[in-house]
Structure 1
């Protein structure tokens, strides 16, 4: 096997001052097959692991990034720097430090109260809770306890509009709690241990890269199922997706340029042709960005109650037809841009 990359790592542990766990991470290639390996020498002896073995370069890189992030989050550091470094601007790094500090020092009691407030606001406005405030923003608020709207706007994710709409209610929750720090939050950088912050950053990368691997694996499963002529119900069985999630995955595959027409055609066999035509014409008239106006156009504004099986089924038809509609729209746009042959 040809080794194309190798770097040494070490982890210094406080409980064994003066000693370090040593490791090597390597990438090798043989006969078109890529391998990633991890060889570690610690107090328990030497052990080796194969992180990845396969022909795909992109899959190999995804596994390399994810597995290395796991080790870096666990305290290993490269002997040769630059192995896993992503530059961020000063502002971006400062924001990450605030996030890190808030996750390590936030008040769970205040976070729970803010979460309850968010649920009430979202229900009253008919919005998803994350549109009111993200979990990460609630963590920031629970940790730094702004006592005025001006302080609230110093937190990442709070602009003037959000402060004007929700600031008074948020401050009513946080201002009654005693704190022993002040805004601005320049002191956070001195309070936050650099090694703890670096491990936290790598933990964020670990989560992100793991999600990438899972998305890639799901994409391969779906494409293989389509090639084999599997039904949507069968896809649900082996992926664990709901019908809506499975159809949304088909929409994403179409956006990425994959052909899902065979599966869409099979799933639309139960939809009468006149209904397909009505949905198509509604998309032509109203566009394909929102499903609800198309639903009302085709089936009437006084359609079934939310949560009914028939309503969910109709939304499935709309999503499946939208896949077909968007594919033809892309084809038309491509044809318009083609030069005419002589």
Structure 2
């Protein structure tokens, strides 16, 4: 096997000798391999194979995900700048990220739980999704820094004047009952939060992102292979465990990336009358393709749908919208 990439890693946990490791990529007869090697102080090595296969793209997805796991554990590259440095750690969002990091590591769980309960009540009363009221990030910040005036609230990233005016009184009512040991402004956070602590937290955030990226890549590959084999949405659902709705949404993403999904769309719309398809197409031309509800109302009006029929109608609208957008982009590229 030919090693095409390797970097030395090290971690000092403060309780023992420095831990050493290597991350490497190799190639042999068209197959890619990726692995991690832990090197004991006595020189013995323990290997962990991360990937073996023919897809360079999949290897990169696995590499990013598994490497961020190691970086979040405290490993650092001996040779800097070769791979995967934290892009945001010194950027314009540096201060906001540090405040977020501190709030997740040192916030009050008791206050956070109380804030989440408040959000559930607000969401239920307003018939809104909880995240429309306030994000977990905002509630974490409040739980850590306990702002007790509107001016202090506005110093927290993610809280603007509208949010403060809408919910600030409720938040301050909860925080004002607590004894606060920290103060505003929050410059002290940047001195108190250790850089290694912040970097490990930052890599932990990226770990989730790259895990999703890997899962998305593998799902796309499974779907494309299924489409090439002539599988239906029901068959793909059985193979992947995903609902038909999620599969159609993923199908839209594949089209945006330039993949051909027409074979599956044609099979799914085969039983749909041409007149109904034409009416939907015309509605997209007249109303645009951003929102589906106006198109649904234009085509079907108040016509009741059978049990499960409304979901089927929306599914078919999405499938026809894929065709509509594809033709729109083809015409635009031809100009």
In 2, Cα distance between the equivalents of 1:279 and 1:93?
48
Q: Deviation of residue 125 (structure 1)?
A: 4.2
**Contact conserved, 1:296 with 1:303, CA < 8 A, in 2?**
no
Q: TM-score when scaled to structure 2? A: 0.92
Partner of 1:77: 76
Aligned CA-pair RMSD: 2.1
**Contact conserved, 2:86 with 2:202, CA < 8 A, in 1?**
no
Partner of 1:68: 67
Equivalent residues, number:
332
1:30 to 4, 28, 41: 28
Q: Deviation of residue 131 (structure 1)?
A: 2.6
Partner of 1:258: 259
In 2, Cα distance between the equivalents of 1:91 and 1:177?
32
In structure 1, stretches of 5+ residues that fail to align are 338-342
3-state SS in 2 of match to 1:15: coil
Q: How is 1:1-342 mapped onto 2 (pairs within 5 angstroms)?
A: 1-16=1-16, 19-42=17-40, 45-83=44-82, 84-88=84-88, 89-301=90-302, 309-335=308-334, 337=335
3-state SS in 2 of match to 1:233: helix
In structure 2, stretches of 5+ residues that fail to align are none
1:169-224 Cα offsets, whole Å, 9 max, x none, are: 33233232221111111111222222222211111121111111111000000100
In 1, Cα distance between the equivalents of 2:39 and 2:23?
12
- Farther off after superposition, 256-265 or 267-276: 267-276
Residues 276, 87 of structure 1: alpha-carbon distance in 2 compared, 3 angstrom cutoff: closer
1:268-287 Cα offsets, whole Å, 9 max, x none, are: 12322222122111111111
Q: TM-score when scaled to structure 1? A: 0.90
1:12-42 Cα offsets, whole Å, 9 max, x none, are: 22332xx122111112222332222211123
Q: Deviation of residue 91 (structure 1)?
A: 3.5
